[in-house]
Amino acid sequence: MIEHFLEGKTSKLFFEGQENEQTGEQLKLFSNELRKQSQNSYLKDFDSWHEAFDYLTENIFRRKKQKHILVLDELQWLAAGQSKLISLIKLYWDRYWQKQNVMLVLCGSMASFMVKKVIFSKALYGRISSSILLQALKPNQATLFFSNKRSKEKD
């Protein structure tokens, strides 16, 4: 759904956390992905989320006056199960990103983390403009959705 939304958008960054990785490894993966998406092969690995967000603020979002989309998917893994990252996101949102025309999309598959640490977060209180709870597909919907994705051998 997010990939579909991002189609055709010019200034977009998409990052996905990896399960069971600590903050240092998440930052390394984030740095690698940012190198690819920004086409900056000289970008060094970030040592902290603060350093990563400073880079985004100064070198990506400030450069262009257009709308930027920043997607942090599987946020619970990026945060390594802690809420410190949420507080830092709040700080950058309040100080910089909302003024720099950034659309911030936070999503994750661990509902308890997203509800407790994002939706009901004291740090983000009043800053959420929309939330989507995706329900499971009904069997007939799943059949329609996956009908062209099935292999012929499974029929």
CB 29 within 8 A of CB 21: yes
Residue 80: CB atoms within 10 A of its CB come to 17
Is residue 30 very low, low, confident or very high in pLDDT (cuts 50, 70, 90)?
A: very high
Q: Which of 134, 142, 30, 141 is nearest to 75 (CA)?
A: 30
What does the chain come to in residues? 155
Q: Are the C-beta atoms of residues 17 and 74 closer than 8 Å to each other?
A: yes
1-15, 30-44, 83-97: least confident range: 1-15
Give the Cα separation of 154 and 100 in Å (integer): 50
- Interval 44-78: pLDDT, tens: 999 999 999 999 999 989 876 788 999 999 999 99
The model's pTM is 0.78
Q: Which CATH class is domain 2-154?
A: alpha beta
